[in-house]
Structure 1
């Protein structure tokens, strides 16, 4: 599973599996969802599955225009509308621009999926620069605050917010100190925001994937040898696929989980964690 020197999903030596694995059942009919990091990986699989279930999608991407265009085509092939919004979610004004564009083009907002993230392996904490630390926190957690702040006036009773945390929040990660710290913040944010919004009828939950085969891994600078054995440390002895994670996002976004808020789901290959 050696990694190529590319950040395009199509250029991975083994393409991630994003395709929905079952027919849709209308669980998101008439809904509009924002999905950050929707151009590739887990985000692409979420966009595809949400579209199959009847949602129109505003997918947010940072720089990979080709991957974003591919995901738009995937959504449209499901018979749904899609727009791609280029934005750096870690910038304070990005949330407002994303929401404004979504409302202008798609007319409403029902679901926010905070999935965008970045990671930068470092074996020694002293190798983490102030710039890297601030950048990782800006993308991974500050961007969630900015987008929710902008979206909240447009979310009504029955709306859902789903955040992407990580198994590293529960296990720790010796080589991803800043990344795993942001994931701990995301879990705390999820639980606290749930308490804050539950009275408004807005549910807030999270998904904590384990090792999933996406462009984030080679893009994040992991050594080739580590990428080759990626996921083998799980009880299932393999990495997960994006389309094995997307159903957890769907469950939390639709009425199937109407009695759940402040919770975290764990598609992680069988690793036992607390909470």
Structure 2
């Protein structure tokens, strides 16, 4: 039976599904039996490879290129999703951005506005154009956020600041849309060995001294895996968390405690 008791009929939408953590999220959701519609920004090859892999799980899979900053494209995307799949029961915001590590005093106004447009305004576009479909039968939002909200990580302002604003939106959706059986939660990420982290490590931005310093502040003395993130998302998105809303799960090895 589709969903295996974890999801209703319909589709899980994963924004940024072709990325490191996003890929594992798509795999876990598909393995749980729900249809998947995921997006990519520019790497079509990686998206096609994931779509082919997901096809082997026996669920319906589709992918689409999407720039979340383009409101018209986002509106058209969710219109097609509703038409093609019927119910949208889950929206996961897993898009990541290639942002530099800078102190607040080193930011330019152009860089700040660009990141806000991608991250915060992009999230609002997704929320604004998916809510009407979600209100019809209820559903779940899961936002991939940052454990930097628990304890300030120096030079990570471009990740943490927009996500702080998004977290306020998540709380607001949980409060205001609960009457429509809509839940909204976040997964706060620490250092996960995938995507942007691997790139910055390979470029020498994160050297051994940085690694040692970060691990010294963790309760669990190692970094996380994308599978760790996907398990948390699977729980929050599924019916197993049917009475959980407005909450955060920190997948960060104890960062901040």
Alignment-derived partner of residue 229 in structure 2: 245
- 1:5 corresponds to which residue? none
Alignment of 1:35-54 (within 5 A): 35-54=14-33
Q: Number of paired residues?
A: 250
> What TM-score do you get using the length of structure 2 for normalisation?
0.89
CA–CA distance in 2 between the matches of 1:93 and 1:219?
A: 31
CA RMSD of aligned residues (A): 2.2
Q: How far apart in 2 are the matches of 1:176 and 1:272? A: 15
How has the CA–CA distance of structure 1 residues 132 and 269 changed in structure 2, closer, same or farther, with 3 Å as cutoff?
same
Q: Which residue in the other structure is 2:170 paired with?
A: 190
Hey, what does 2:215 align to over in structure 1? Answer: 232
**Hey, which of these two has a bigger chunk of helix by percent?**
2
Moved more, 219-228 or 239-248: 219-228
Larger deviation, residues 26-35 vs 181-190: 26-35
1:138 and 2:121 correspond:
no
Structure 1 match to 2:92: 113
The 3 A distance-change label for structure 1 pair 172 and 244 is same
CA 227–87 in structure 1, closer or farther in 2 if over 3 Å, else same: farther
Shift of 1:33: 0.9
Cα distance, 1:28 vs structure 2: 2.3
Alignment of 1:25-44 (within 5 A): 25-28=4-7, 30-44=9-23
Q: Residue 116 of structure 1 contacts residue 139 of structure 1 at CA under 8 Å; is this kept in 2?
A: no
Which SS does the other structure have where 1:90 is aligned? coil
Scaled by the length of structure 1, the TM-score of the pair is 0.83
Q: Which runs of 5+ in 1 are unaligned?
A: 1-23
Structure 1 range deviating more: 170-179 or 50-59: 170-179
SS at match of 1:93: helix
Say which of 35, 38, 42 aligns to 1:59. 38
- In structure 2, the partner of 1:21 is none
